[in-house]
Structure 1
Amino acid sequence: MRDIAEVPAVEVITTAAVHLMSAAAVKCGLAEGEDARDLVDLAEARTLITALAGLVTTAAPDIGNQHARALRDGLRSLQLAFREASTLPDAPGQGPGERLTGPVR
Protein backbone atom coordinates (compact mmCIF):
# COMPACT_ATOMS: atom_id res chain seq x y z
CA MET A 1 0.00 0.00 0.00
CA ARG A 2 2.82 2.34 0.74
CA ASP A 3 4.12 2.10 -2.85
CA ILE A 4 0.78 2.99 -4.43
CA ALA A 5 0.32 5.82 -1.94
CA GLU A 6 3.40 7.49 -3.39
CA VAL A 7 2.13 7.39 -6.99
CA PRO A 8 0.51 10.65 -8.13
CA ALA A 9 -3.11 10.38 -9.27
CA VAL A 10 -2.25 11.58 -12.77
CA GLU A 11 0.14 8.66 -13.16
CA VAL A 12 -2.46 6.12 -12.01
CA ILE A 13 -5.02 7.61 -14.42
CA THR A 14 -2.67 7.70 -17.40
CA THR A 15 -1.49 4.16 -16.70
CA ALA A 16 -5.08 2.91 -16.63
CA ALA A 17 -5.77 4.80 -19.86
CA VAL A 18 -2.74 3.28 -21.57
CA HIS A 19 -3.91 -0.22 -20.60
CA LEU A 20 -7.35 0.50 -22.06
CA MET A 21 -5.76 1.94 -25.22
CA SER A 22 -3.48 -1.05 -25.67
CA ALA A 23 -6.28 -3.56 -25.26
CA ALA A 24 -8.57 -1.61 -27.60
CA ALA A 25 -5.83 -1.36 -30.22
CA VAL A 26 -5.38 -5.13 -30.23
CA LYS A 27 -9.15 -5.68 -30.44
CA CYS A 28 -9.36 -3.22 -33.38
CA GLY A 29 -6.71 -5.15 -35.29
CA LEU A 30 -3.83 -2.74 -34.78
CA ALA A 31 -1.54 -5.34 -33.22
CA GLU A 32 1.46 -6.62 -35.14
CA GLY A 33 2.21 -10.25 -35.75
CA GLU A 34 0.94 -13.23 -37.63
CA ASP A 35 -2.13 -13.73 -35.47
CA ALA A 36 -3.18 -10.05 -35.21
CA ARG A 37 -6.30 -10.61 -37.34
CA ASP A 38 -7.33 -13.50 -35.09
CA LEU A 39 -7.39 -11.13 -32.12
CA VAL A 40 -9.89 -8.66 -33.61
CA ASP A 41 -13.06 -8.37 -31.55
CA LEU A 42 -14.97 -5.18 -32.29
CA ALA A 43 -17.59 -5.78 -29.59
CA GLU A 44 -14.81 -5.87 -27.00
CA ALA A 45 -13.08 -2.90 -28.64
CA ARG A 46 -16.31 -0.89 -28.40
CA THR A 47 -16.51 -1.54 -24.66
CA LEU A 48 -12.86 -0.66 -24.07
CA ILE A 49 -13.02 2.54 -26.14
CA THR A 50 -16.20 3.66 -24.38
CA ALA A 51 -14.57 3.06 -20.99
CA LEU A 52 -11.52 5.01 -22.13
CA ALA A 53 -13.73 7.88 -23.31
CA GLY A 54 -15.40 8.00 -19.91
CA LEU A 55 -12.08 8.03 -18.09
CA VAL A 56 -10.51 10.67 -20.33
CA THR A 57 -13.57 12.92 -20.38
CA THR A 58 -14.06 12.75 -16.63
CA ALA A 59 -10.40 13.05 -15.62
CA ALA A 60 -9.33 15.72 -18.13
CA PRO A 61 -10.07 18.75 -15.92
CA ASP A 62 -8.03 17.28 -13.09
CA ILE A 63 -4.98 15.88 -14.89
CA GLY A 64 -3.95 18.96 -16.82
CA ASN A 65 -4.01 19.87 -20.48
CA GLN A 66 -0.73 18.19 -21.42
CA HIS A 67 -1.84 14.76 -20.18
CA ALA A 68 -5.44 15.17 -21.30
CA ARG A 69 -4.41 16.19 -24.84
CA ALA A 70 -2.28 13.08 -25.28
CA LEU A 71 -5.07 10.84 -23.99
CA ARG A 72 -7.66 12.53 -26.21
CA ASP A 73 -5.41 12.05 -29.24
CA GLY A 74 -5.03 8.35 -28.47
CA LEU A 75 -8.75 7.99 -27.91
CA ARG A 76 -9.57 9.71 -31.19
CA SER A 77 -7.12 7.46 -33.04
CA LEU A 78 -8.80 4.38 -31.60
CA GLN A 79 -12.26 5.68 -32.46
CA LEU A 80 -11.13 6.22 -36.05
CA ALA A 81 -9.47 2.78 -36.18
CA PHE A 82 -12.69 1.22 -34.92
CA ARG A 83 -14.69 3.00 -37.60
CA GLU A 84 -12.24 1.83 -40.26
CA ALA A 85 -12.32 -1.78 -39.02
CA SER A 86 -16.12 -1.92 -38.93
CA THR A 87 -17.88 -3.47 -41.90
CA LEU A 88 -21.05 -1.56 -40.93
CA PRO A 89 -19.83 1.80 -39.60
CA ASP A 90 -21.86 3.51 -36.89
CA ALA A 91 -23.71 6.71 -37.68
CA PRO A 92 -21.81 9.87 -36.69
CA GLY A 93 -22.04 10.29 -32.94
CA GLN A 94 -22.97 6.63 -32.38
CA GLY A 95 -19.49 5.08 -32.40
CA PRO A 96 -17.72 3.88 -29.27
CA GLY A 97 -17.37 6.69 -26.75
CA GLU A 98 -18.86 9.28 -29.09
CA ARG A 99 -21.75 10.04 -26.78
CA LEU A 100 -19.06 11.33 -24.42
CA THR A 101 -16.68 12.91 -26.93
CA GLY A 102 -18.98 13.95 -29.75
CA PRO A 103 -18.75 12.66 -33.32
CA VAL A 104 -15.30 11.69 -34.53
CA ARG A 105 -14.26 12.50 -38.09
Structure 2
Amino acid sequence: MGGFSTFACFPLWEGEAWATIAGFRPVCEWKVCNAVSDSIGDEARDIAEVPAVELITTVSVHLLSAAAVKCGLANNPEQETDLAEARKLITALAGLITAAAPEIGDHHARSLRDGLRSVQLAFREASTFPDAPGQGPGEKYTGPVN
Protein backbone atom coordinates (compact mmCIF):
# COMPACT_ATOMS: atom_id res chain seq x y z
CA MET A 1 0.00 0.00 0.00
CA GLY A 2 1.28 3.46 -0.80
CA GLY A 3 1.66 6.10 1.83
CA PHE A 4 1.13 9.78 1.65
CA SER A 5 2.71 12.70 3.43
CA THR A 6 0.82 14.66 6.02
CA PHE A 7 1.76 17.66 8.03
CA ALA A 8 0.88 18.67 11.57
CA CYS A 9 2.07 21.56 13.69
CA PHE A 10 1.39 22.02 17.39
CA PRO A 11 2.76 25.07 19.23
CA LEU A 12 4.32 24.30 22.59
CA TRP A 13 5.04 27.29 24.79
CA GLU A 14 8.23 26.92 26.81
CA GLY A 15 10.63 29.15 28.69
CA GLU A 16 14.35 28.78 29.23
CA ALA A 17 16.63 29.14 26.21
CA TRP A 18 13.73 29.07 23.76
CA ALA A 19 12.57 32.40 25.15
CA THR A 20 15.41 34.00 23.21
CA ILE A 21 13.98 32.59 19.99
CA ALA A 22 10.68 34.44 19.63
CA GLY A 23 9.40 33.10 22.96
CA PHE A 24 8.21 29.73 21.77
CA ARG A 25 9.30 26.36 20.54
CA PRO A 26 7.09 24.91 17.85
CA VAL A 27 6.71 21.18 17.83
CA CYS A 28 5.90 20.01 14.34
CA GLU A 29 6.01 16.62 12.79
CA TRP A 30 6.00 15.18 9.31
CA LYS A 31 4.38 11.80 9.02
CA VAL A 32 4.16 9.21 6.31
CA CYS A 33 0.90 7.43 7.00
CA ASN A 34 -0.49 4.28 5.52
CA ALA A 35 -3.90 5.27 4.22
CA VAL A 36 -5.48 2.02 5.41
CA SER A 37 -3.97 1.36 8.84
CA ASP A 38 -3.30 4.86 10.19
CA SER A 39 -6.02 7.28 11.12
CA ILE A 40 -5.26 10.96 10.87
CA GLY A 41 -6.93 13.31 13.31
CA ASP A 42 -7.81 16.94 12.87
CA GLU A 43 -4.23 17.87 13.80
CA ALA A 44 -2.76 16.42 10.61
CA ARG A 45 -3.51 17.60 7.10
CA ASP A 46 -2.58 16.41 3.67
CA ILE A 47 0.43 18.45 2.60
CA ALA A 48 -1.47 19.52 -0.52
CA GLU A 49 -3.89 21.45 1.71
CA VAL A 50 -1.21 23.50 3.45
CA PRO A 51 -0.90 27.07 2.10
CA ALA A 52 2.56 28.02 0.83
CA VAL A 53 2.97 30.82 3.40
CA GLU A 54 2.30 28.38 6.24
CA LEU A 55 4.66 25.80 4.80
CA ILE A 56 7.48 28.33 4.25
CA THR A 57 7.01 29.71 7.75
CA THR A 58 6.97 26.25 9.32
CA VAL A 59 10.10 25.12 7.48
CA SER A 60 11.79 28.34 8.58
CA VAL A 61 10.83 27.71 12.20
CA HIS A 62 12.21 24.16 11.95
CA LEU A 63 15.52 25.55 10.67
CA LEU A 64 15.47 28.20 13.38
CA SER A 65 14.81 25.64 16.11
CA ALA A 66 17.53 23.30 14.86
CA ALA A 67 20.01 26.19 14.60
CA ALA A 68 19.21 27.25 18.17
CA VAL A 69 19.90 23.73 19.43
CA LYS A 70 23.17 23.53 17.47
CA CYS A 71 24.21 26.95 18.89
CA GLY A 72 23.85 25.55 22.40
CA LEU A 73 20.52 27.12 23.36
CA ALA A 74 18.86 23.82 24.32
CA ASN A 75 18.82 21.93 27.61
CA ASN A 76 22.07 19.96 26.94
CA PRO A 77 24.43 22.44 25.28
CA GLU A 78 27.50 20.32 26.07
CA GLN A 79 26.12 17.46 24.01
CA GLU A 80 24.11 19.27 21.35
CA THR A 81 26.28 22.24 20.35
CA ASP A 82 27.70 21.82 16.86
CA LEU A 83 28.68 25.13 15.29
CA ALA A 84 29.55 23.60 11.91
CA GLU A 85 25.98 22.31 11.66
CA ALA A 86 24.59 25.57 13.06
CA ARG A 87 26.41 27.52 10.34
CA LYS A 88 24.73 25.46 7.61
CA LEU A 89 21.29 25.79 9.17
CA ILE A 90 21.61 29.54 9.73
CA THR A 91 22.83 30.14 6.18
CA ALA A 92 19.95 28.08 4.76
CA LEU A 93 17.48 29.95 6.97
CA ALA A 94 18.86 33.34 5.91
CA GLY A 95 18.59 32.40 2.25
CA LEU A 96 15.04 31.12 2.66
CA ILE A 97 13.84 34.17 4.58
CA THR A 98 15.48 36.57 2.14
CA ALA A 99 14.05 34.80 -0.90
CA ALA A 100 10.60 34.23 0.59
CA ALA A 101 10.05 37.62 2.25
CA PRO A 102 8.17 39.13 -0.73
CA GLU A 103 5.94 36.05 -0.88
CA ILE A 104 5.14 35.63 2.82
CA GLY A 105 4.71 39.31 3.62
CA ASP A 106 6.34 41.64 6.09
CA HIS A 107 4.31 40.41 9.06
CA HIS A 108 5.70 36.87 8.82
CA ALA A 109 9.14 37.85 7.54
CA ARG A 110 9.76 40.30 10.40
CA SER A 111 9.29 37.61 13.07
CA LEU A 112 11.50 35.18 11.18
CA ARG A 113 14.20 37.84 10.72
CA ASP A 114 14.14 38.51 14.47
CA GLY A 115 14.63 34.81 15.19
CA LEU A 116 17.36 34.60 12.56
CA ARG A 117 19.20 37.54 14.10
CA SER A 118 18.94 35.86 17.53
CA VAL A 119 20.59 32.65 16.32
CA GLN A 120 23.21 34.60 14.37
CA LEU A 121 24.13 36.43 17.58
CA ALA A 122 24.04 33.18 19.58
CA PHE A 123 26.39 31.63 17.02
CA ARG A 124 28.79 34.56 17.33
CA GLU A 125 28.69 34.32 21.13
CA ALA A 126 29.28 30.55 21.09
CA SER A 127 32.20 30.80 18.66
CA THR A 128 35.69 30.59 20.09
CA PHE A 129 36.97 32.61 17.14
CA PRO A 130 34.13 34.85 15.92
CA ASP A 131 33.86 35.52 12.19
CA ALA A 132 34.71 38.94 10.82
CA PRO A 133 31.69 41.24 10.41
CA GLY A 134 29.78 40.20 7.31
CA GLN A 135 31.39 36.74 7.24
CA GLY A 136 29.17 35.00 9.80
CA PRO A 137 26.55 32.42 8.89
CA GLY A 138 23.85 33.87 6.67
CA GLU A 139 25.43 37.32 6.58
CA LYS A 140 25.92 37.17 2.83
CA TYR A 141 22.09 37.36 2.69
CA THR A 142 21.41 39.60 5.71
CA GLY A 143 24.46 41.82 5.87
CA PRO A 144 26.56 42.13 9.05
CA VAL A 145 24.75 41.36 12.30
CA ASN A 146 25.55 43.35 15.43
Answer 1 or 2: which has greater strand percent: 2
Structure 2 letter corresponding to 1:67: H
**How far off its partner does 1:37 sit?**
1.6
1:96 paired to 2:126: no
Answer 1 or 2: which has greater helix percent: 1
Name the CA distance, whole Å, in 1 between partners of 2:49 and 2:85: 33
2:71 to 28, 39, 43: 28
Name the CA distance, whole Å, in 2 between partners of 1:23 and 1:6: 25
Name the CA distance, whole Å, in 1 between partners of 2:72 and 2:46: 35
Structure 1 letter corresponding to 2:46: D
Report how many aligned residue pairs link the two structures: 103
| Other-structure match for 1:63 | 104
Structure scoring higher RCO (CA < 8 A, sep ≥ 6) equals 1
2:87 to 46, 67, 74: 46
Of 90-99 and 36-45, deviating more is 36-45
Computing the radius of gyration from Cα coordinates, the structure with the larger value is 2
1:10 paired to 2:53: yes
**How far off its partner does 1:38 sit?**
1.2
Supply the RMSD in Å over aligned alpha carbons: 1.2
Runs of 4+ in 1 over 4 A off after TM superposition: none
Q: Deviations over 1:1-47 (max 9, x none)?
A: 68212111000001100110111101000002xx3221100000000
Structure 2 letter corresponding to 1:16: V
Structure 2 letter corresponding to 1:9: A
1:81 paired to 2:122: yes
Name the CA distance, whole Å, in 1 between partners of 2:56 and 2:103: 10
TM-score between both structures, scaled by the size of structure 2:
0.68
Which ranges in structure 1 are unaligned for 5 or more consecutive residues?
A: none
Report the secondary structure of 2:57's partner residue. helix
Which ranges in structure 2 are unaligned for 5 or more consecutive residues?
A: 5-44
